[in-house]
Homo-oligomer: A and B are copies of this chain.
Amino acid sequence: MGMKTIAVLGSTGSIGRQTLGVLRADPTLGKVGVLAVRSDVKLLLEQTAEFHPAYVAVEDETAAAAVKDALPAGTKLLVGKDAASVAASLDEVDIAVNGISGFAGTEPLLKALEAGKTVALANKESIVCAHSLVEAALQKGGAIIPVDSEQSAIFQCLAGGRKNEVKRLWLTASGGPFRTFSKERLKSVTVADALKHPTWNMGAKITIDSATLFNKGLEIMEASYLFDVEGERISVLVHPESIVHSMVEFNDASTLAQLSKPDMRLAIHYALAYPERQPSAFGALNLAEVGKLTFEAPDAERFPSIPLAYAALKEGEVLPIAYNAANEAAVARFRRGEIGFYGIVSAVEYAMEHMPKGKVRSFADVLYLDREARRLAEKAMEKI
């Protein structure tokens, strides 16, 4: 296979910047064909000068206007709401890295898959909210290679057996900065506390989700949809060292685990090189230096995000959307200091309880339900 052409969606975010770091360290993995951003055109221009993409995509029209004349001659500009989706679907793109944060990553995933692209997927909200549409889009010949470290681990471990031999998926969770906090103490944690992640270097939204374990809840659903394993056969294991990224237990009591240093670049590197593995210049692991790996069951009482995720997954239509949207709305308020830790939980519970019933049949349904869940969450939070 020749050099792959890569579209980096969300190139100025955490995953986007780390993807470019991986490509900078190993240019043989592929060349950057597209950089897509929401509004950070200052960094976009720096990235464009370094990687010379054929296209840049900017969602925000005001920001796009500012960038128009600063682009080099060979780089075309796409602007607007669907710019990232259009850019990811261009003929010349082989792989789209979806590093867009939150629900906004959904439409680009669907459009890229409908265009038959391989998507290196870091955005979990998209598959949680639109799993049935993703499944349909995958029929067009595209593929998803997970970039989320847990899902990448499971993807790698699944090579050790056949689908019908898988007994259980074990998702590991660092437990975040509040792992050992009592329920009482959790009530008064601040956004600054939540942003101090002990092991991973990630964006703000996912770092807070890691502190509340809503991130793990989303991953339970993501794993179920990516690997077609029902919730009853997915377990969470708290593993503070973040070295074992997840595991697959087979029916013969043999478990395969994937280990590495906690460095998102390794999962990105794996996804870009797939189906091969290419040498990485960084990240070598020596367990004798690590010394100790610990594991404990998650505490569903202190972290209701976990049982709520199983409940959402069981219903599988409107509740995953409610879980995600209400959490996004609540995290925004938590970041502004307007609600506390359990305010996030209450908002999600309220939204899940009051969602309209029904089946998701179109992206319009997803958009409607997402908005409805946010409205319900806001209503719940206004009461707090």
CB contacts (< 8 Å) of A287 on chain B: these are 170, 237, 295
Segment among A188-196, A202-210, A273-281 that sits at the interface with chain B: A273-281
Contact A280 B251 (CB under 8 A): yes
A254 within 8 A of B: yes
A288-B247 Cα distance, complex, nearest whole Å: 13
Across the two chains, which residue of chain B brings its CB closest to A251?
B279
A324-B259 Cα distance, complex, nearest whole Å: 33
Contact A249 B292 (CB under 8 A): no
A162 within 8 A of B: yes
Contact B280 A291 (CB under 8 A): no
A160 within 8 A of B: yes
Contact A277 B162 (CB under 8 A): yes
A1 within 8 A of B: no
Among A247, A287, A294, the most chain B Cβ lie within 10 Å of the Cβ of: A287
Contact A160 B162 (CB under 8 A): no
| A295 and B292 in contact, given A280-B252, A280-B253 (Cβ under 8 angstroms) | yes
Number of A residues, CB within 8 Å of B: 48
A85-B170 Cα distance, complex, nearest whole Å: 44
Contact B257 A256 (CB under 8 A): yes
A254-B283 Cα distance, complex, nearest whole Å: 8
Nearest Cβ in chain B — how far from A297, in angstroms?
4
A282 within 8 A of B: yes
| A256 and B253 in contact, given A293-B293, A294-B291 (Cβ under 8 angstroms) | no
Report A240-251 CB contacts with B as 1/0, cut-off 8 Å: 000010010111
A157-B254 Cα distance, complex, nearest whole Å: 11
Known: A162-B277, A256-B257. 19 other contacts (CB 8 A): A156-B160, A156-B254, A160-B256, A237-B288, A238-B288, A247-B259, A249-B285, A252-B273, A253-B282, A254-B258, A254-B259, A254-B260, A254-B277, A255-B260, A256-B256, A288-B295, A292-B293, A293-B294, A293-B295
